[in-house]
Structure 1
């Protein structure tokens, strides 16, 4: 078991924060794409977000591994090691790390809020789409649209919105 220096923990934590900031930016872009109904842009953003999430998972794994190893070295292996306890070993870094933690928590809150808003936008879009489809189904069932009978201009009953012959 090799313990990373505390400076490496700080770098891991900082990189993880930076990736969450990028993820927040992408969530905001995704919100705009949802509102503009830009499916291609949305697909591109979701794909990029997946790459960011994979990187965040790697960094988070490294951070947890570091904390577990550090806790095993400094305390009994079966106890949890808190951020505050880690700061006791980094007195010169305490203020900067606490600011970084506060910024990190703020970004996580903002990300959660935007994700909730995006979820609601998507649900609303689906409701509108379902309503529109139901209106179309009802319209098709009541009268005919764009079909001819025996070269006359009268309409006839059909199950299609637009006659394929047109």
Structure 2
């Protein structure tokens, strides 16, 4: 029973970590819109440490699940939270695990949506930068004929005004 309590505590810690990660994703959206590169770098570092924390918590979760299942006499490589909920006899524990599972699932969906939105913002920004650079550094072939013509390109930055 102690391993089940530790599992629930770890799942709650995972929920907290995912909530922080969602907050960082929302903050990233604002930073991307503002175009603040220094803040973006700082945020990416915080995001990375949050992801590392989630990975460590996931390892702990897997350990506690294996210990709990071994105590119940069940064996297997990995069990989902749904399978763990289904083998519960206690209604309170079942409800707690179900609630935490739904919270985690919802947070992960929101994080995924926010990351996709941020990725689209980044893609749009890069497209705009490429377009702007293309306007400034447009390559137009020099006029020349025959095998001795130079294959030189001019651009707007080279033009005399």
With the shorter chain as reference, the TM-score category is 0.7 to 0.9
Kindly report the root-mean-square deviation, in angstroms, between the aligned alpha carbons of the 2 structures.
Answer: 2.3
Shift of 1:71: 2.1
Question: What does residue 150 of structure 2 align with?
Answer: none
Residues paired across the two proteins, number: 145
Question: What does residue 5 of structure 2 align with?
Answer: 7
Contact 1:30 1:42 (C-alpha < 8 Å) held by counterparts:
yes
Shift of 1:81: 3.2
Shift of 1:6: 1.4
Contact 2:29 2:118 (C-alpha < 8 Å) held by counterparts:
yes
Q: Name the CA distance, whole Å, in 2 between partners of 1:65 and 1:124.
A: 42
Q: Name the CA distance, whole Å, in 1 between partners of 2:137 and 2:105.
A: 48
Shift of 1:93: 2.4
Structure with more contact order per residue of length (Cα contacts < 8 Å, sep ≥ 6): 2
Shift of 1:91: 2.8
1:75 and 2:73 equivalent?
Answer: yes
1:112 and 2:129 equivalent?
Answer: no
Aligned pair in 2 of structure 1 residues 70, 42: CA closer, same or farther (>3 Å)?
same
1:141 and 2:159 equivalent?
Answer: no
Contact 2:81 2:101 (C-alpha < 8 Å) held by counterparts:
no
Provide the TM-score with structure 1 as the length reference. Answer: 0.77
Gaps of 5+ in 2: 140-153
Structure 1 residues 115-126: aligned runs within 5 Å: 115-126=115-126
Q: Name the CA distance, whole Å, in 2 between partners of 1:26 and 1:52.
A: 9
Q: Name the CA distance, whole Å, in 2 between partners of 1:18 and 1:143.
A: 52
Gaps of 5+ in 1: 146-154, 157-166
Aligned pair in 2 of structure 1 residues 78, 99: CA closer, same or farther (>3 Å)?
closer
